[in-house]
Structure 1
């Protein structure tokens, strides 16, 4: 998982790099799109979590036909829901991005990019949920390969479509969106053939409406709260982008670069958030609570130490990184400021993310949803905003770190109580 995500995130960073060569306006425009694009991606992630939890249990119970039906239903529902959200998004580009703080100068660039990206978001639903089906069936290598190849295709097409080559016209920022669409079209065809034909992990046909309703209900019971929790992140990110926008387009450009670098810096956390839940769900099911406690404690200890090393590396390399991504001195200085402060909280953020994924593994998706609400709208946004009022952009960055510290403490207490309650419930059932 780490290898696959390194490849995918690295190519996403390359995407940002090529767009940055178009100038500060293009970089600011694509930075405004991150909260919106991640909203669609979050819906896919949530449905993937629901699919993985339900299909994994069905396969453990040897209910293979029902697992295949559920896999088909999961992918179908993802395409339908993401497609609906994409249509709404296309019709509301201007009002949504105006609320985020984009001005009239950036709006044409945002429209060019988002009209194509929304279509690619629908295609992305297929490999994302399909990869969850593979992981639920015990295969983590193939999903990593699909992620890596998709990212590689996107990165290879970026310079060709953005700047043009031979008969291929220069499409500017829209070229980046077309590169993404082509990459995930290939990924969608690949995963469907793999699941329906080669592995026979889903049905090679569409479900009837009654079948779709029957087999998608359990997936959505876990998937919707998980998706809601994930979708809160880009909503909060949109609010934060609007706050940052008050400091100018240069600040938004720096914020966008910082967020892309955060994805790279958090790869190990994200990989663990996909590998820890199956371990926890199996051991909770077997009432091996001490093993769950040990795994949870060891993983969190490791991630805090690891992310501290990541922070040191990003802090030392910040001038070089800023030089790569920014031509203007003011943007470069703000990237350095971001990298010298915000990554200090990534280990604490890892505690929150891993606690959330563990609660989903324990079939407590509403607990994970409430944790996300507390993190983003009680701690993260309010604290960062208040700090920015008193200390400017630097205060906003330190506010992000403080919010992660407070929320990490809440997450540890929450998980301990949830585990105690789950253990007590198991004892009652055994009695």
Structure 2
């Protein structure tokens, strides 16, 4: 039995392993550590980004809040495609067929480039209209149009960053995905203040500078991914003979990814509707809610590392014809995730005022942020199992089940309940804050009940 320290070092180094044999705890740790670090870097950047932008003013923070509500649609497609790629690649790796996994990875690359290019062109030309549609004030439109144009115009980069990391996770190479985001988001953090506030010959660009820094960092991260796919020494190795289109695999990838994308689109569209409701109550409300959400993302994204580890273990063990081991992987990851988020929730509830003081000293913005942090944290413990079980379905290739449950919980419950509490009952932002954890807790319960039935074990990808 390896020592804990040796296991952790192997995880960070990305030592190649067979995740279909051996102890589950060890497999989960080796997969989860780089994924947690990867997600931590993504969440850290989100926090640092809003820290710098908050120094510009309320309009700048509002720009990011409204833009991200739209960008989450792109992220949703990217994450959905990533789920499809993880499921197919993990299944091929579990079948001990790395060449087929690499061939699948190339098809995923082609899908990402095509979708990213089309949506990027649309985003460049419709940036101002998008902000107006989201209810932005004239001041926010004037401040944020270039930010939106750059962020949406770089959709190819966003698609590939998510999609290719999904490929590496499915292949059991999470250390590559970790290093990608360490590089991309590390650069983002360094470049953010330079482009936002200016340095030497680089002029101060304000909120537009945040978009420039993000795009540069992510682009370099994607270059690192491509290097590892074509010239690396991991499980995924794309050589010249694999660089051809296979419409059968693309159709299967799209088939699995569409449901995966829709489950996140449903959640993201819900987010857009909720942000649109919050915009009725003024820029301070949007700013306070946006800052709090960034803090919550900072806390939740490492949890997604555990959830992604569960998805990889489920996919590979189903490929190796070990469904019971696949199921045990999900329950074990959910248990660890619940302990982690219980600690996080207690900290957020206790230190909410202190946390908000790092970002703003505007009383109303602070008040909204503190309230959002505390109410959302109540639902985190229930959602800990929900996110793991959802990803376990995705890892099995059953992306349809989480999509249906998301539709019920987010569109049929969360949005109407949020509107009723916020507008009809006059609770404003508090109404939204109550509706979200209620709906996500219900989602977790439904997914757990369905997962126990075990039909996901028979999905064929």
Equivalence for 1:370: 404
Provide the rounded CA distance (Å) in 2 between the counterparts of 1:121 and 1:335: 30
Residue 312 (structure 1) aligned with residue 375 (structure 2): no
Residue 416 (structure 1) aligned with residue 452 (structure 2): yes
* 50 and 294 in structure 1: CA distance in 2 versus 1, 3 angstrom threshold: closer
TM-score calculated relative to the size of structure 1: 0.91
Q: How does 1:216-365 map to 2 (within 5 A)?
A: 216-284=250-318, 288=322, 290-365=324-399
Equivalence for 1:202: 238
Provide the rounded CA distance (Å) in 1 between the counterparts of 2:283 and 2:308: 35
Provide the rounded CA distance (Å) in 1 between the counterparts of 2:326 and 2:168: 24
SS of corresponding position for 1:166: coil
Of the structure 1 ranges 251-260 and 49-58, higher mean CA displacement relative to structure 2 is found in 49-58
Q: How does 1:68-87 map to 2 (within 5 A)?
A: 68-87=102-121
Shift of residue 90 of structure 1?
2.6
Query: Which of 143, 159, 183 in structure 1 is aligned with 2:177?
Result: 143
CA-to-aligned-CA distance 1:67-113 (integer Å, 9 cap, x gap)? 32221121121111122122222333333333322122211222110
Provide the rounded CA distance (Å) in 1 between the counterparts of 2:242 and 2:131: 36
Of the structure 1 ranges 197-206 and 257-266, higher mean CA displacement relative to structure 2 is found in 197-206
Q: Is the 8 A contact 1:34 1:234 kept in 2?
A: no
Provide the rounded CA distance (Å) in 1 between the counterparts of 2:320 and 2:176: 28
Shift of residue 50 of structure 1?
1.4
Query: What CA RMSD, in Å, does the superposition of the two structures yield over aligned residues?
Result: 2.3
* 129 and 405 in structure 1: CA distance in 2 versus 1, 3 angstrom threshold: closer
Query: Which of 219, 224, 237 in structure 2 is aligned with 1:185?
Result: 219
Equivalence for 1:382: 416
Q: Is the 8 A contact 1:226 1:369 kept in 2?
A: yes
Count of aligned positions:
422
* 411 and 80 in structure 1: CA distance in 2 versus 1, 3 angstrom threshold: same
Shift of residue 294 of structure 1?
4.0
Query: Which of 103, 106, 121 in structure 1 is aligned with 2:155?
Result: 121
Q: Is the 8 A contact 2:43 2:299 kept in 1?
A: no
Shift of residue 17 of structure 1?
0.8
Shift of residue 283 of structure 1?
4.2
Provide the rounded CA distance (Å) in 2 between the counterparts of 1:214 and 1:287: 23
Equivalence for 2:433: 397
Shift of residue 216 of structure 1?
1.6
Consecutive unaligned residues of structure 1, counting only runs of 5 or more, are: none
Q: Is the 8 A contact 1:12 1:151 kept in 2?
A: no
Q: How does 1:33-44 map to 2 (within 5 A)?
A: 33-44=67-78
TM-score calculated relative to the size of structure 2: 0.85
Equivalence for 2:199: 165
Of the structure 1 ranges 84-93 and 254-263, higher mean CA displacement relative to structure 2 is found in 84-93
SS of corresponding position for 1:310: helix
* 265 and 243 in structure 1: CA distance in 2 versus 1, 3 angstrom threshold: same
Provide the rounded CA distance (Å) in 2 between the counterparts of 1:298 and 1:70: 29
Provide the rounded CA distance (Å) in 2 between the counterparts of 1:34 and 1:236: 13
* 203 and 40 in structure 1: CA distance in 2 versus 1, 3 angstrom threshold: farther
Q: Is the 8 A contact 2:180 2:222 kept in 1?
A: no
CA-to-aligned-CA distance 1:115-134 (integer Å, 9 cap, x gap)? 11123331232232222222
SS of corresponding position for 1:201: coil
Q: Is the 8 A contact 2:91 2:319 kept in 1?
A: no
Q: Is the 8 A contact 1:99 1:242 kept in 2?
A: no
Residue 407 (structure 1) aligned with residue 440 (structure 2): no
Equivalence for 1:90: 124
Q: Is the 8 A contact 2:62 2:283 kept in 1?
A: yes
